[in-house]
Amino acid sequence: MKAFAPIVLVVALFAAVPLVVHSNVILNFLVVALMIALAGQGWNVLGGYGGQYSFGHAAFFGTGAYVTAILQVRYGVNAWVGFATGIAAGALVGAVIGALTFRSGLRGSYFALVTLAFAEVLRISASVAPITGAGVGTLIKLDLRAQAFQFQSRATFYWISLALVALSLLIAKLIERSRFGVWLVAVRENEDAAQALGVDVATVKSAAMVISGAITAAAGCFYAQYFLFVDSGIAYGTWISIEVLLTPIIGGVGTVFGPLFGAMVVKALGEGAQLVTGDAPGLDLVVYGAVLILVIAFMPRGLIGGLAQARQRLMRRPAVEVHHG
């Protein structure tokens, strides 16, 4: 149980925030950051633990968002059922892409490209297909009732996004401690060696992609309910794919808390840059890009790894001095 204590602590701390903070602006900021953290955890399962760097996770995010929205708007399905179906659809898309790419043995740059291409095909298709509302997008009708998965209070949305993030942290921790997690890390570190040791590489990677797709799709479903609007440029857009990989890498790739930490830092930096520049777009994203490169260059294990290293160095210093003395 001790292994799960940090998760309980962090989630409890986050859960207390709306009791103290009543500003809708701050809560809105946190909800969006938590949503990105959730999507980033999906990427982290496949990219962080499995070493398969996807450049098209928008494929899952967008699928979750569209399935949730379309089921409600066009088929009158209950929002909660739509939400669950959206997650399942994300898992299914993960299974299909995983089966196609990993069976053909695509890795590295090839894998990055093929995931990007899938996201683009979905984006272009969604921008012309009548069922998605084509270029106009799909609008979910305002209906502020719990059974419609819509809430008057920001705090309720906040706790729901936090619950989803908590679940994703738990999943990451369980994967880390399982045999499956060990296989996944073995594939990341050396795929050929893992295969030689009897790991079924293609199946392990495909399974990771299914879990990854489901988690990132959940963030997409949440997006649809929170903003009540989905269009192809947002849901399947390149920017989602980038943001989703940015957060775990900046926070700490292949760690349980990396995506959450990264999302908070990235979003705070973005807000900070926007405060400085006002309405002019672009500068916040320049900051993201620069932070990404700096983290890779100077903290290969992300901010979490960097902090751990700094702490170790601080604790070791007296001993070194004694040794010299």
Partner 1 sequence: MCHPPLPASILVVLSPAIIIPAILNGLLTGAVYALVALGLTLVYGVLHIINFAHGALLTAAMFAAFFAYQFGIDPYVAIFLLAPAFFAFGYALQRVVIGPAAHGDDRNMLLITLGIAVIIENALLYTFRADTRTIDVPYAFKSIDFGFTFLAVPRLVGFAAVFAVALVLWLIMTFTDTGKAIRAVAKEKLGAELAGIDVAHIYAVTFGLGTACVAIAACLLIPTYYVNPSAGNAFVLVAFTIVVLGGMGSVPGALIGGLVIGVVESLSSLFLGDSLGQVGIFLIFIVVLLVRPSGLFGARA
Interface stretch with partner 1, choices 68-76, 206-214, 221-229, 279-287 (CB under 8 A): 279-287
Examine residue 276 and tell whether it contacts partner 1 (CB under 8 A): no
- Minimum separation from the CB atom of position 200 to partner 1 (A): 20
Residues touching partner 1: how many (CB under 8 A)? 43
Examine residue 163 and tell whether it contacts partner 1 (CB under 8 A): no
- Minimum separation from the CB atom of position 110 to partner 1 (A): 6
**Closer by beta carbon to partner 1, 218 or else 295:** 295
**One of 78, 195, 274, 277 touching partner 1 (CB under 8 A):** 277
- Minimum separation from the CB atom of position 167 to partner 1 (A): 27
Residue 267 to residue 288: CA distance in whole angstroms = 9
Q: Which of residues 75-114 bind partner 1 (CB under 8 A)?
A: 100-101, 104-106, 108-110, 112-114
Of 252, 54, 254, whose CA–CA distance to 173 is shortest?
254
Residue 108 in 3-state DSSP? helix
**Closer by beta carbon to partner 1, 12 or else 286:** 286
The first and second tokens of residue 211, run together, are 């879990």
**One of 25, 286, 310, 320 touching partner 1 (CB under 8 A):** 286
Bridge partner list, 229: 139
Examine residue 193 and tell whether it contacts partner 1 (CB under 8 A): no
Bridge partner list, 139: 229
- Minimum separation from the CB atom of position 152 to partner 1 (A): 35
Examine residue 66 and tell whether it contacts partner 1 (CB under 8 A): no
Phi/psi-derived region of residue 153, left when phi > 0, alpha when psi is between -120 and 50, beta in every other case: beta
Interface stretch with partner 1, choices 79-87, 178-186, 295-303, 308-316 (CB under 8 A): 295-303
Please tell me the number of Cα atoms within 13 Å of 224 on its side-chain side.
38
Residue 44 to residue 218: CA distance in whole angstroms = 14
Interface stretch with partner 1, choices 18-26, 159-167, 177-185, 290-298 (CB under 8 A): 290-298
Strands 229-230 and 138-139, by their bridges, are antiparallel
CB atoms within 10 A of CB 90: 32
- Helix ranges, the chain (H): 5-20, 24-43, 58-75, 79-103, 108-128, 154-177, 179-189, 191-196, 201-227, 232-235, 238-251, 258-277, 283-298, 302-324
**Closer by beta carbon to partner 1, 163 or else 296:** 296
Q: Rule CB under 8 A: which residues touch partner 1? A: 51, 53, 55, 100-101, 104-106, 108-110, 112-114, 116-118, 120-121, 124-125, 127-128, 130, 242, 245, 249, 277, 280-286, 288-290, 292-293, 296-297, 300
